[in-house]
Amino acid sequence: MGFREIPGQERAKALLQQALRSGRIAHAYLFAGPEGSGRQDTAIAFAQAVLCERGGDDACGECLSCRKVSHGNHPDLHVIEPDGASVKIEQIRELQRELSYRTAGAGYKVYIIKSAESMTVQAANSLLKFLEEPPSPVVAILIAPGAQAVLPTILSRSQLVPFVPGDRERMEALLTAEGKPRMLARAAVHLASGPAAARALTEENWFAEIRNVVIQLGKENSSRFPGSLLTAQQQVIKTNLSEHVDTLLNLFALWYRDMIYAMTGRHDRMVFADQAEFIAKHAWSRTIEAWAGAMESALAAARRIKAHVPPQLALEQFLVNVREG
Ligand SMILES: [Zn+2]
């Protein structure tokens, strides 16, 4: 994942690549911007470039260090994610211990804190001392939805790197230029949190299968309920797709949104553009409010799976809720 593979975010990339070129890399960066804008991909790209054995303003992607970053096992790159709902002080202390050891190579150590806004006050205060007196050379990358989402004391010690909302059309164009099927790319950029995740989705066989199942269930549920329950059993629950019911539901929400797009004349925005003929005909069978309600049901069911409701139960209840017949 080099900077060259990240679409858009020109300002953020320019700022980071200028630092790499000049060798004046700050102790701490705050990557501030919305979900899906490529903050995590950019954090990995920056870390990879900082750690790259060949130097320069982008990672070479080939040296041992670059390959270790790609495989997620570089000893000098530490990634912290919330443990449950928050990043906790124990995690920051553990990080500080890890960083106090000598580097594997001669260069930098890099750490990334995802959802930095979720740090507990204790964690943030513990990190603060560390940002002030880092055991050099260390680079911190904090990821948050906005500059105001972290404590002012942390903000003032970090260089702000602003991210604008992700440009889905550009991401889709990038993926199709790489030879990914357009319909899969279009669905993936709506579901993934950034270009790397979208690319990975388009390369999964199950993702193409899930997309087909959504189309089938969407059509069946409109006319042949409870046949759709049987389809869900046979093609999802009893197959390897059962691990991806949350993705199926999120995609289903986009199916219903396409109905609204059809009714409001925004056909160019459809995710299931290859089904435009069916959608255009079928959309008028319900009101916009009904489709919006179905969309919300799909998203609510996906959230229930995250909250550990069994996927089969969540999917079946969803299909019952949104049946049209
Ligand atoms: Zn390299």
Give the number of domains in the chain. Answer: 2
For residue 187, report the distance from its CA to the centre of ligand 1, in Å.
Answer: 32
Q: Is the dihedral of CA 292, 293, 298, 300 positive or negative?
A: positive
Using the mean position of ligand 1's atoms as its centre, give its distance from the Cα of residue 62 in Å.
5
pLDDT above 90: percentage of residues in the chain:
76
Distance 137 CA to ligand 1 centre (A): 18
pLDDT-derived band at 324 (thresholds 50, 70, 90) equals confident
How far, in Å, is the centroid of ligand 1 from the Cα of 49?
7
Checking if the pLDDT of 134 tops 80, the result is no
Domain that holds residue 281: 204-322
Expressed in angstroms and rounded, the spacing between residue 253 Cα and the centre of ligand 1 is 41
Question: Cα of 64 to ligand 1 centre, how many Å?
Answer: 7
What confidence tens digit (pLDDT) does each residue in 270-308 have? 999 999 999 999 999 999 999 999 999 999 999 999 889
Q: Say which DSSP state 4 is in.
A: G
Residue ranges with CB less than 5 Å from ion ligand 1:
52, 60, 63, 66
Residue 140 shares a structural domain with residue 276: no
Assess if residue 212 is contained within a domain.
yes
- pLDDT exceeds 80 at position 237: yes
In the block, residue with structure tokens 């990339």 = 13
pLDDT at 228 over 70: yes
What are the counts of helices (DSSP H) followed by strands (DSSP E) for the chain? 15, 5
Q: Does residue 137 have a cis peptide bond before it, meaning omega lies within 30 degrees of 0?
A: yes
Q: In this predicted model, what pLDDT tens digit does every residue of 59-99 receive, in sequence order?
A: 999 999 999 999 999 999 999 999 888 999 999 999 999 88
Final residue belonging to a domain, choices 166, 187, 218: 166
Question: Is residue 218 situated within a structural domain?
Answer: yes
Q: 312 versus 104: which is more confidently predicted?
A: 312
pLDDT for 196: 82
In a domain, 182, yes or no: no
User: Hey, is 53 helix, strand or coil?
Assistant: coil
Same-domain pairing of 212 and 161: no
> From the CA of 210, how far away is ligand 1's center (Å)?
36
For tokens 């679409």, name the residue.
Answer: 7
